[in-house]
Amino acid sequence: MEYRDILVVLEKEDGVISPLSTEMLGRAKYLASELNQNVIALSIGENISEMSKEAIYFGADKVVEVGNKILENYTTLAYTKVLDFILDKYLPLAVFIAATPNGRDLGGRISARRKIGLVADCIDIVLTDDKKEIKWIRPTFDGQLYADIRISTKPEIGTIGEGAFRPLKRDDTKSGEIVKEEVSLSSEDVLTVFLEQIKSDGEKEVSLTDAKIIVAGGMGLGEKENWHLVTDLAHELGAEVGATKDVVDLDWVPYKIQIGATGVRVSPKLYIAVGISGAIQHTAGMKTSDLIIAINNNPEAPIFKVAHYGVVGDLFEIVPRLTEKIREINNKI
């Protein structure tokens, strides 16, 4: 049997293609081009035609649509049945699934059903030099090491978390084939009933993964009372706030804004690191940012190795002045 092409299982978020799906398409396109193969996106659900078109704009060569009222909301058995059918029919070499709660559920189920290997939470996917094998890279030992894992069954499956890859630039002039597939489904394929979706709480969701600008602070701030230096600067820049693990561990800020291998992975246009040493576990979560500016009083701090611009100096002098300057500019606009 010849396995070829990379299949990306799409997900919707708030009714449109999820940012993570576009990131997976970007990586799939890169690998498929290296292999001279195609990217096939799998669109499952109801009212999925917009998502299918967007998948093409973000890099898919072809979209396979499985539309059915039963698939309107994710359920393990129905989605697994669809994916199982598509894997038999299209024989993809590799399958990318979002490392979301639903994606993790689907990945685990399909892997168990077909007795095939899956690598969870990949942060990189590359080919070996001879292009014969796929290296599925994921953090291990809580982010202290990266493991290069090979899958010996086909198709190879990986789940991918947000921020590991960058999407391609959306190109709405791009065209691609959209194929509709019928998978016979009945209410017996759905043993659970979706009643309603309830948001976790009333609080504003932190959208670090989508943020264009992030100001992140570390232990250089010294104590919690100084944390306002980070939030003041972020406020003037219209930025989101991030933190290192050590700061989170001290309860200065909540875990949900921890950036790094065991926190959120981000790729903003601008990342300002204030009093952050640049430990590998931290940089694993932000080094793909477009522009990194580090403020640190130690010229040897490892953060300067990933920073595009470095300011060596005392953050207690630099940050308030920077914030004030930006405030002046904002007031003039």
Ligand X SMILES: Cc1cc2nc3c(=O)[nH]c(=O)nc-3n(C[C@H](O)[C@H](O)[C@H](O)COP(=O)(O)OP(=O)(O)OC[C@H]3O[C@@H](n4cnc5c(N)ncnc54)[C@H](O)[C@@H]3O)c2cc1C
Answer for the pair 235, 262: CB distance below 8 angstroms, yes or no: no
**Upstream peptide bond of 155 is cis (omega within 30 degrees of 0):** yes
Q: Which residues contact 108 (CB under 8 A, 6 or more apart)?
A: 118
Between 239 and 303, CB nearer to ligand X: 303
**Ligand-binding site membership of 276 (annotated):** yes
What residue has token string 């979560």? 285
Within 188-227, which residues bind ligand X (CB under 6 A)? Answer: 218-220
Give 251-313 as a 3 state SS string: CCCCHHHEECCCCECCCCCEEEEECCCCCHHHHCCCCCCCEEEEEECCCCCCHHHHCCEEEEC
> In this chain, which stretch among 12-20, 40-48, 206-214, 276-284 interacts with ligand X, using CB under 6 A?
276-284
Within 132-171, which residues bind ligand X (CB under 6 A)? Answer: 142-144
Neighbouring CB atoms inside 10 A of 286's CB total: 27
| Cα 328 → chain centroid | 35
Answer for the pair 107, 159: CB distance below 8 angstroms, yes or no: yes
> In this chain, which stretch among 42-50, 157-165, 223-231, 269-277 interacts with ligand X, using CB under 6 A?
269-277
Q: Does the protein bind ligand X through residue 298 (CB under 6 A)?
A: yes
Q: Which of 3, 146, 227, 316 binds ligand X (CB under 6 A)?
A: 316
Q: Which of 276, 293, 294, 307 binds ligand X (CB under 6 A)?
A: 276
Closest CA to 25 of 134, 169, 141: 169
Closest CA to 125 of 164, 79, 88, 86: 164
* Minimum separation from the CB atom of position 297 to ligand X (A): 4
Within 228-247, which residues bind ligand X (CB under 6 A)? Answer: 244-247
Q: Does the protein bind ligand X through residue 44 (CB under 6 A)?
A: no
**Ligand-binding site membership of 282 (annotated):** yes
Between 53 and 287, CB nearer to ligand X: 287
Calpha distance 213→3 (Å, rounded):
41
Q: Does the protein bind ligand X through residue 296 (CB under 6 A)?
A: yes
**Ligand-binding site membership of 49 (annotated):** no
The tokens describing 81, both together, are 């049945």
* Minimum separation from the CB atom of position 225 to ligand X (A): 14
Q: Does the protein bind ligand X through residue 263 (CB under 6 A)?
A: yes
**Ligand-binding site membership of 278 (annotated):** yes
Q: Does the protein bind ligand X through residue 118 (CB under 6 A)?
A: no
Between 70 and 301, CB nearer to ligand X: 301
Strands of the 134-140 sheet, one edge to the other: 124-127, 134-140, 145-149
Which residues would be at the binding site for ligand X (CB under 6 A)?
142-144, 218-220, 244-247, 258-263, 275-277, 279, 281-282, 285, 295-298, 301, 314-316
Binding-site residues from annotation: 258-262, 275-282, 296
